Each structure stands twice: as C-alpha cells, then as structure tokens.
Structure 1
Amino acid sequence: MITCHSSSDAETLALGRRLSGLLRAGDVVLLEGSLGCGKTRFVAGVAEGLGVDRRVTSPSFVIVQEYDGFIPIVHADVYRLGSTGEFADLQIPDLAADGVLLIEWGDAVEQSVPADHLVVRFEVTGDTDRTISFIPRGTWANRALTDVVTA
C-alpha cells in the first residue's frame, strides 16, 4: 500500500492525472471512501490525463458514464445497486473491455471484478484534507505506483 496526502481539489485532480499514465486497456480501479471525499474529482484527473475534453460528473443517478479518451473510460457508481447480482446483470466490466473501468463505491463489488485491480481509498482528514491510499491487487503490485504519489 502506498499512501499520500491531498490538501485540495487541485492536488486530488493531479493525482488522478498522474495515475492515468499507468493505465492501460482492461484495467479496473475501485474507488472507496465516504460521500464527498474526492472520488469523482480523482476520476476527472484520470480523464484529463487520458485526453477527455468534457466535464466529468458523478454517475450516481445514471450508474455508468462513458468518456472517449486515448483509452476509453467507463466511470461507474455502484452506490445505488442493491447487490453484486445487479452489478453482474448490468455487465459493467464488459463495457470497459477495451478501456479503463473506474468504480465509485468499489468495495461493494470487489469480489466481482478481476483479481488484478487497483483500490484507491480516500479518507477525509480535514475540511479539504484527504489521505489517499493506493492498494495494488494482483499484477498491480508490479506497477510504479510510487511515481503517482512522488511526482
């Protein structure tokens, strides 16, 4: 696990931008943390880093939002799903077979995604302060995550 600190939306956005440099088609990133902790802002940084030129919004009410970038992005919010069965029924991982899948509230579906994935955990530590942890699963342990937090 690699942990860093963010004290602003701009820093959270920059972390997402830096992570985008490690992403490749087929990757799954699970985002964990309370409401308003910066998950969507982080995804906006990833999208910016992957060349998306439109505003990223939370998919809370639509479940899935797709963006065209250098690598396609599927941004999902599974907070409103009733079960992992609903997640499977929606076939969300299949939507991102040729892209990157970023799932807010990902801890609810971790058992339903490939073993090789990254967990990004957000913890609110102050009004604008966040502790952000990158927890690699499977082959993610071989990626240069320290570059994301030290750049």
Structure 2
Amino acid sequence: MSLSSHGRVECATASETQAFGEELGRSLAFGDVVILDGPLGAGKTTLTQGIARGMQVKGRVTSPTFVIAREHRSLVDGPALVHVDAYRLLGEGTGNTADPLGELDALDLDTDLDNAVVVAEWGGGLVEQITERYLLVTLDRESALEDDPDSHARVITWRWSSS
C-alpha cells in the first residue's frame, strides 16, 4: 500500500482494523510519528497491533496505559516501534506539555526516536511539539453505532500534517 497524504476507510471488524494497520505499518519509515485520535474503545490499540505486524517488530502490543510507553524492536533491521500513551505521559490531560521531548527522554527508552516510529495514542498536544510532520489517524465508532448498536465498525481517516 502506498499511503496517500489523506484518506478514509471503513473497517467492519477488529480484524479489518488490524489488517489496515498492517498496511499502514508497512508504509512507515524511520522517524515517522503517528497520532491516534479517538474516544476510549475506538480501536487505537487494535490498529497499533496491525501497525506492529506491518513493521515486523517483536513483542505483544497491548495498551500502554499502565506503562506509558512500550518499545518494540524490529525483527528485520527496520525502525523500532515506540507505542506511547500521551495522555498519561503528559500528566493525564493537565496540559503539562512544556517539555514533551524531556518527558519521553525521562522514560529511558533504548531507542533514539529518529531510529523509530512513534505511535502515540491520545497524541494531540504531544507530537506537534516533537516533530514538524506527523500522520494524524482518527478512529470513529460513533457513526456506525448510531446505525447499529451492535456494530464493531470504525471509520478511519488519516492525513499527513505539518506543525
């Protein structure tokens, strides 16, 4: 998949969300930063699981809520995946964004962020300060739930942005 500068896809199941994430992961490169935006339960971690498969990194991808950030090393000499819960990293929504690079550095990750892909759940307010170019991915489940309360579908939109 050659990811265009923006787009939209509807994924009917968690498996489809992971498959889209896998395609996305194959298109990411060293130094890329991805913001995942969407409400609780929208599928941010599910999408990240697919991104990890596409990037061919090791380790099981789970929500970074309790560890704040988790690093997954490449199995194929590609970039590492740094999966971040930006909400917790920046003080649980307190607006403490004075030094996001310092906050990431304080986590003592083994990887230089230029040698990784950073995927930040709840990343608004973080990545705009650590990079000039980032991929904003929005996951929307509300639209599908309005039509079918039992739906697991998500509408995923993306666009490359500059700070």
Does residue 77 (structure 1) correspond to residue 85 (structure 2)? The answer is yes
Shift of 1:78: 1.2
Does residue 111 (structure 1) correspond to residue 135 (structure 2)? The answer is no
- Partner residue, 2:154: 130
Shift of 1:110: 4.1
Residues 103, 95 of structure 1: alpha-carbon distance in 2 compared, 3 angstrom cutoff: farther
Q: So what's the TM-score if we normalise by structure 1? A: 0.83
Which 5+ residue runs of structure 1 have no aligned equivalent? 139-151
Which of 21, 30, 33 in structure 1 is aligned with 2:35?
Answer: 30
Q: After the TM superposition, which residues 1-150 of structure 1 pair with which residues of structure 2 at under 5 Å, given as runs?
A: 1-69=6-74, 70-80=78-88, 81-82=90-91, 83-85=96-98, 87-91=100-104, 95-124=112-141, 125-126=144-145, 127-138=151-162
Separation in 1, partners of 2:155, 2:52 = 21
Separation in 2, partners of 1:36, 1:86 = 28
Residues 62, 19 of structure 1: alpha-carbon distance in 2 compared, 3 angstrom cutoff: same
Separation in 2, partners of 1:61, 1:99 = 21
| Paired letter, 1:68 | R
SS of match in other structure, 2:98: helix
**Per-residue deviation, residues 27-58 of structure 1 (Å, max 9, x unmatched):** 00010000111101111101111112421011
Separation in 2, partners of 1:30, 1:88 = 15
In the alignment, is the contact (CA less than 8 A) between 2:101 and 2:130 conserved in 1?
no
The percent identity for this pair of structures is 33
**Per-residue deviation, residues 43-95 of structure 1 (Å, max 9, x unmatched):** 11011111124210111111110001232110000122222125333135984
Separation in 1, partners of 2:130, 2:102 = 13
Which 5+ residue runs of structure 2 have no aligned equivalent? 1-5, 146-150
In the alignment, is the contact (CA less than 8 A) between 1:78 and 1:87 conserved in 2?
no
Q: So what's the TM-score if we normalise by structure 2? A: 0.77
Q: What RMSD in Å do the two structures reach over aligned CA positions?
A: 1.9
Shift of 1:20: 1.4
Separation in 2, partners of 1:53, 1:38 = 20
Shift of 1:109: 2.0
